[in-house]
Structure 1
Amino acid sequence: MSDKPEFHPPELGSVNVAPRKARPMHADEHWASQPWYEAPRGDLSVAEVYTYTDAMSYDPGDEVVFRSSATAKAWRLQIYRDGLEPEMVHEVDALDGVFAATPSDAYRNGCNWPVAHRWTLPPDLRSGFYRVVSSCERANGARFIQHHFFVVRPTEKTRRAKILMILPTGTWTAYNDFGGANHYFGVEGPDRDEPSPVLSLQRPWTRGVVWLPPGAPRICADPAPEMGDAPRYQMKEWAFSNGFGQYYAAAGWAQYDRHFVLWAQKEGYALDMITQTDLHYRPELLDAYPCVTIIGHDEYWTWEMREAMERYVEGGGRLARFGANFLWQIRLEDDGKRQVCYKFKAIHKDPIVGTDRARLMTSAWEDRNIRWPGASTVGVNGAHGLYASWGGFAPNGQRGFTVYRPEHWAFAGTGLHYADIFGDKQHIFAYEVDGLDYTFRNGLPFPVPVEGQPETIQILAMAPAVLAEDEPQGEGFRYYVRSSDHEGLVECITGEVTPHGLARYKYGSGMMVHMTRGKGEVLTAATCEWVMGLKRGDPFTQRITRNILDRFTAPRSA
């Protein structure tokens, strides 16, 4: 029998239900016509509480500072290490509620709320992901709950694993709209309808990044549409109906990384954990591990992060990347408290353009002014992959990988053959994927040589992807992304939008690749949804994942 008290999830039951109130609905209203962001009500008559921490990650023994705004008279703080066996590590039952207004530019400059609590982490606290749950009771007996998180880094004393998991927090930040904006939409600009190129980390996370109820829809056309069906975006419909962030399905612990952690722990793989901010500022953390892994939606990196990863691999490290969408360069400022990415507007708006720091321009890695293909680091590129199996992006397309090199060690023990498809029933090939420009010789795919792309890349498996939504018309058809990303990336890469450029980049692929670099190696399964093969029990995806992790954590032969 365990001496640990039984864990009861703070999220049990019905939470965050607003008072019922009728309002008119107009015939032209739609989730896409009224984009929403999360912000506190600020109504002193309705109890709620929001909390964030002064940093994203800590060492054992560090002090965590919690900043909060509450309209409740009293509220509760609970912190638990999330995973297969969650463990409550800190609770405070009756913190005084202090209300502080949320600045109108909180998304850019932070909330600057007062300190509500301080906690010094135990010196032996294990590395991992720690959910921060703030909750309060409402007058009608209902509960309000808000989630935040922090990561505890491994130290020489607390390190337990051979695998270091790097959370793609640059991508999480890019999609966090709390307070008014993210890198995709917001209240910037004269008409208050533009995204913000500058995002603060001194604010809460929008609802859905840290916690989701089971069954929240994913970005995959499920079920696949029948002929004549209007396009649907179930994740947007669900978010709009249930009060979650409109981009909850695109990034975050709850949607991606947590599924991998639960599977890995069940399989007996110990994991230590850091954030991308740690990779940027403390790259030496990688050196103690034979294997590092990155999961899910992995879209935003700094120059320094890439340099650190390539140095690690060249020195003999192994990178297992079960994720995709390696696309944008970002900058971290103010000791990691601020993230910058101008994206499609970088050439016109980024203040470092034309300076001696121009290589750090926050545009696509394949931008004609940067030209450091993602394949140099992870074996694949974002601009040659992109979307699959949702909306107008091949919604009835292939949802698994086609095998082309079954003799590769990654497929050992699977019994897979040339041209077999795996993971299709579990929808592992969906949302966003990465690929390469390629050609076929004798029935096998080979990368087209590109400057800066390692010559050792082998394409093991692949499937088609597309950069713009096809838009067949039908009754009531409405599309979402359309061709905006297609045109924006073509302009970044080539300098102008031309029919030739659009044709060149419209169709791509998602790939599973292996490459060596220096003394190390990289294996990338370049789809955001790889984790669904693990969660949904696909034996092929699970065996391949074990093959990769076992090889990458095994001692090297002399």
Structure 2
Amino acid sequence: MFQASRHPVRTPLAALVAIPVAIMLAAGCSAAVEDPVAPPSPTPTDSSSAVRSAEGAGGAEESGTTVTENAREGDPRWRLRGRGAEHEIEGFADRVSVLPGERFRLYVSTTAGRYTARAFRMGWYGGAGARQVWREAGLPGRRQAPPRTIAATGTVTAAHWRPGPEVDTSGWPEGSYLIRLDAASGGRRFVPLTVRSASTRGRLVVVNAVTTWQAYNGWGGRSLYRGPGGFGDRSRAVSFDRPYDASGARLFLDMERAAIELAERQGVPLAYVTSLDLDRDPRVLDGARGLVSLGHDEYWSAGMRRTVEAARDHGTNLAFLGANAVYWRVRFAATPLGPRRLVVCHKDEAEDPGTVLWRATGRPESSLTGPMYDCFPSESAYVVRRPGNWIFEGTGVRRGTTFPGMVGVETDRVGAGVPRPMEVLSVSPVNCGGRATVAHSAYYTVPSGAAVFSSGTMRWVCAMRGARCGHGVTAEAGAFVRRATGNIMRAFAEGPAARRHPARDNLGPLGLAGPPGR
């Protein structure tokens, strides 16, 4: 996440301090975000009746795995319902993602003598939102040693903690998981884990943006944004060898869960990977129908970008359901617990010219995402420009239909040099701290047949929850976003979408035309 300035080290300290708070505001409060995706509003409006009639409809090839799994009984009791005292219980896993059947180890610190660990697979499950797949009770608790800070990089680590139980994932379906740690004294925290897909061929791939989660993780007093002394005292590298702050899964719950519920509700063939898997395996997307980047996917390595761009250029569709994606360039390093468990990002060319803004390297994010980061903070309405585009089919919107509160807290806009043909779908006026600008949703297609959608607002996933999102977002906005996203997911799951839905370039009439980016 970033401000209007292109040079973060020159951004006023007060603004930088506010940035981690802003990401919470982008999706509403943490307590509210644990609600399941809201059903369509029963109140008819200009744009909601057509949406409601098609909510949850099929239309793409169904995945037996996804449909069968979500037909199982869910468990709405997965939520924390209170975290207890600070450090009452917290933990992390020694693997960010595992294949089904692989093992991982938990590292847990608790003030209680005993605790229980439960694994919940997150999904639709008829609105329950999760299914419990594993439980182990009566685990011995211990208060672990305080975190350590590596002085050279300001990296906070708990790799020195004594290991806890080893967990066997045999029989666990692919997907996004939350391991819930329940202290005998009542405290609870989450530990996120992805059970990744061995193959993505023929499927729509959901990406958990774990590099961004870790960038904002302030556990132990430091993140990539600040340390005890402010921005200058920030970490230059952040480690997965520590718990996440707050609930333990703040950014997953705020920025990703609602979209995952919706994806599983569509019944399309799904695969699951993480940011690290895109870097680890350049062929992880071979044969994938589409890729879905969720609500905030800001930190990308060169390997991640090469993998995704190669997939696009071989016909894999891309959907960016947030804003400020592909913004900071990072690299990975090993820790004592394994490879790629350290995310390095100095954010200062003088310190490290390799971990700066992507646009500073001559490869702006817009060559991949289309719209590029433009504004923080924003609190604006979403305004439809191209109601006839296939993405808006069944929503009932007209040109100028407006959805309050949907544009924020960060936004993107289309500039010169972007891929063409590009079709701008929304033009939303934005007051960016006194600077007049606009936010764009956009859609472009490439010769491989791939199509790319970018929402241009960080609040797209939050808005799937309707009024539960806060910020003035309405039930009608929720129905609109769910229907539009469902259209995208079903079409992208069918293969190269440009063959059926070519972009109809409208940059000229909007005064946005410039030298083509491709």
1:551 aligns with 2:481: no
1:531 aligns with 2:512: no
Q: How does 1:427-438 map to 2 (within 5 A)?
A: 427-437=405-415
Kindly provide the CA deviation profile for residues 238-263 of structure 1, in whole angstroms up to 9, marking residues without a partner as x: xxxxxxxxxx5xxx111121111223
Q: CA deviation at 1:508?
A: 3.7
Letter in 1 for 2:399: Y
Partner residue, 1:275? 274
Q: How many residues get paired?
A: 405
SS at match of 1:184: coil
Q: Which is higher, the Rg of structure 1 or of structure 2?
A: 1
SS at match of 2:464: helix
Verify the 8 A CA contact 1:11 1:145 in the aligned structure 2: no
Partner residue, 1:455? 420
SS at match of 2:136: strand
Distance 1:49 1:270, change over 3 A: same
1:121 corresponds, among 169, 186, 190, to 169
Verify the 8 A CA contact 1:81 1:131 in the aligned structure 2: yes
Partner residue, 2:204? 163
SS at match of 1:274: strand
Kindly provide the CA deviation profile for residues 137-167 of structure 1, in whole angstroms up to 9, marking residues without a partner as x: 23xxxx11121111000124xx798311011
Q: CA deviation at 1:507?
A: 4.6
Unaligned 5+ segments in structure 2 are 1-69, 467-474, 501-518
* Higher RCO (Cα < 8 Å, 6 or more apart): 2
CA distance in 2, matches of 1:329, 1:339: 10
Verify the 8 A CA contact 1:385 1:436 in the aligned structure 2: no
1:373 aligns with 2:381: no
CA distance in 2, matches of 1:8, 1:417: 37
Q: CA deviation at 1:409?
A: 2.3
1:67 corresponds, among 107, 113, 125, to 107
CA distance in 2, matches of 1:111, 1:9: 29
Kindly provide the CA deviation profile for residues 330-377 of structure 1, in whole angstroms up to 9, marking residues without a partner as x: 11222210011122xx12222xx3xxxxxxx2222222xx12111111
CA distance in 2, matches of 1:70, 1:374: 42
1:408 aligns with 2:389: yes
Q: How does 1:217-256 map to 2 (within 5 A)?
A: 248=250, 252-256=251-255
Kindly provide the CA deviation profile for residues 23-67 of structure 1, in whole angstroms up to 9, marking residues without a partner as x: xxxxxxxxxxxxxxxx73xxxxxxx33221111100012111111
Partner residue, 1:55? 95
- Aligned identity (percent) is 24
SS at match of 2:300: strand
Cα root mean square deviation, aligned? 2.7
Q: How does 1:187-198 map to 2 (within 5 A)?
A: 187=228, 194-198=233-237
CA distance in 1, matches of 2:72, 2:444: 44
Letter in 1 for 2:75: F
Partner residue, 2:22? none
CA distance in 1, matches of 2:75, 2:295: 27
CA distance in 2, matches of 1:9, 1:256: 21
Distance 1:144 1:555, change over 3 A: closer
Verify the 8 A CA contact 1:209 1:254 in the aligned structure 2: no
2:119 corresponds, among 79, 82, 87, to 79
Letter in 2 for 1:196: S
SS at match of 1:418: coil
Q: CA deviation at 1:270?
A: 4.8
CA distance in 1, matches of 2:176, 2:273: 9
Letter in 2 for 1:114: R
SS at match of 1:419: coil
CA distance in 1, matches of 2:176, 2:408: 26
Letter in 1 for 2:355: T
Distance 1:60 1:303, change over 3 A: same
Q: TM-score, normalised by structure 1?
A: 0.67
Distance 1:541 1:100, change over 3 A: closer
Q: How does 1:106-505 map to 2 (within 5 A)?
A: 108-112=155-159, 113-122=161-170, 124-138=171-185, 143-156=186-199, 162-187=203-228, 194-208=233-247, 210=249, 248=250, 252-326=251-325, 327-334=327-334, 335-343=339-347, 346-350=348-352, 353=353, 361-367=354-360, 370-382=361-373, 384-389=374-379, 398-400=380-382, 402-421=383-402, 423-424=403-404, 427-437=405-415, 448=416, 450=417, 453-465=418-430, 467=432, 469-470=433-434
Verify the 8 A CA contact 2:387 2:425 in the aligned structure 1: yes
